Amino acid sequence: MRERERRSTPRVETGVLTRPRTEPGQRFLDGFFRQALAWPKAQVTVAQPRLERWDRAIPWERVAPLLAFGGTLALGAYLRGIFVVTSDFPLNDGGLFYAMVRDLQRSGYVLPATTSYNDAGIPFAYPPLAFYLAGILDSLTPLSLIDILRFFPLAFSLLTMFAFVGLARALLKPGLPVIAATAAFALWLRSFNWEIVGGGLTRSPGFLFALLALHQLYLLYTRQGRRHLVLASLFSGLTVLTHLEATWFLAFSGLLLFLAVGRSRQAIIDSALV
């Protein structure tokens, strides 16, 4: 009994508290359980669902203007195209231009003195660029001249909407003012009713070139640069070669731009060069 008490009670040797000796099997079990208790606890993690691209927040401040622009241009294209597509013949007018294109083709693309229209001896005094384009398309493509008089004006009228957007973005503050101006231009009947008819063979490209020239003139007056000078001269020349009324429109509008944002010695020189 005393021997057991000696083994179970700690002994003090030279001031150090020591445990009594244990059997080898007991030491093995103690070490095993000690290691088991010291083993790191397993951590349970819950997999987070991956966010797909379409789940992310939509930046409406950027998307909304694009949707407005896209909807406006699409509706403007529909309003222009519905009149042309539902008719199998050029709208309203264009007989004189049809005869002038044929006269140009018969003369080997040399400008004749008169046109054969109604055998009235009308002088062939008209900017001829659109007639050359129509005659070349008639000769090189499967389209007939009637089809060209139908779709050529429509194509250029659609392009005028994009040209107007560029001009509006240069003149107005970004955002609602540009969208409102684009909507007014694209959806107002008076802005395209004379451009999509048969006589729009010259009116529509002339109007397009005039808008492009005005855009470059504004950039020339406000930013200067040789690039804007060259482009303004190019589009102004194309306007003169396409339509007389568009030329007057460009001249008056260019003068207003000069008075509004030009009025400098350099602007006078640039205007003279254009």
Res 217: pLDDT? 95
Confidence of residue 142 (pLDDT cuts 50, 70, 90): very high
On the question of pLDDT at 107 being above 70, the answer is yes
On whether residue 183 sits in a domain, the answer given is yes
Over range 81-93, report the average pLDDT.
89
Rounded to 5 degrees, what are φ and ψ at 76?
Answer: -65, -40
Under the banding of pLDDT at 50, 70 and 90, the label for residue 51 is very low
Q: What would the mean pLDDT of 180-194 be, rounded to a whole number?
A: 90
The one-character DSSP state at 214 is H
Specify the DSSP element, H or E, that contains 120. Answer: none
Q: What would the two tokens of residue 73 be?
A: 């241009």
Q: For the whole model, what pTM was predicted?
A: 0.76
Tell me if 92 is assigned to some domain. yes
Residue at 14 is within a domain: no
The tokens for 128 are 């001829």
Please give the mean pLDDT across all residues of the chain.
82
pLDDT over threshold 90, residue 46: no
- pLDDT (0 to 100) of residue 195: 92
53 lies in some domain:
no
Answer whether residue 256 is part of any domain: yes
User: For position 225, what pLDDT does the model report?
Assistant: 85
* Residue 97 included in any domain: yes
Is residue 17 in a domain? no
Q: What is the pLDDT of residue 24?
A: 53
The structure tokens 């690039």 sit at 227
Closest CA to 236 of 269, 218, 210: 210
- Which range of 23-32, 37-46, 231-240, 257-266 scores highest in mean pLDDT? It is 231-240
pLDDT of residue 228 exceeding 80: yes
Report whether pLDDT(126) > 80.
yes
C-alpha torsion angle, residues 11, 16, 20, 25 (rounded to 10): 180
Strand partners for 270: none
Give the structural domain span for 255: 62-273
Q: What's the pLDDT band for 3 if we cut at 50, 70, 90? A: low
The tally of domains found in the chain comes to: 1
Say if residue 141's pLDDT is above 80.
Answer: yes
| The token pair that represents 58 in the structure block | 């939509």
Confidence of residue 59 (pLDDT cuts 50, 70, 90): low
HSE-CB for 105 with a 13 A CA cutoff: 17
Within a domain: residue 215?
yes
Instruction: Tell me the per-residue pLDDT of 232-248, one tens digit each, with 9 for 90 and over.
Output: 999 999 999 999 999 99
The residue among 85 and 34 whose pLDDT is bigger is: 85
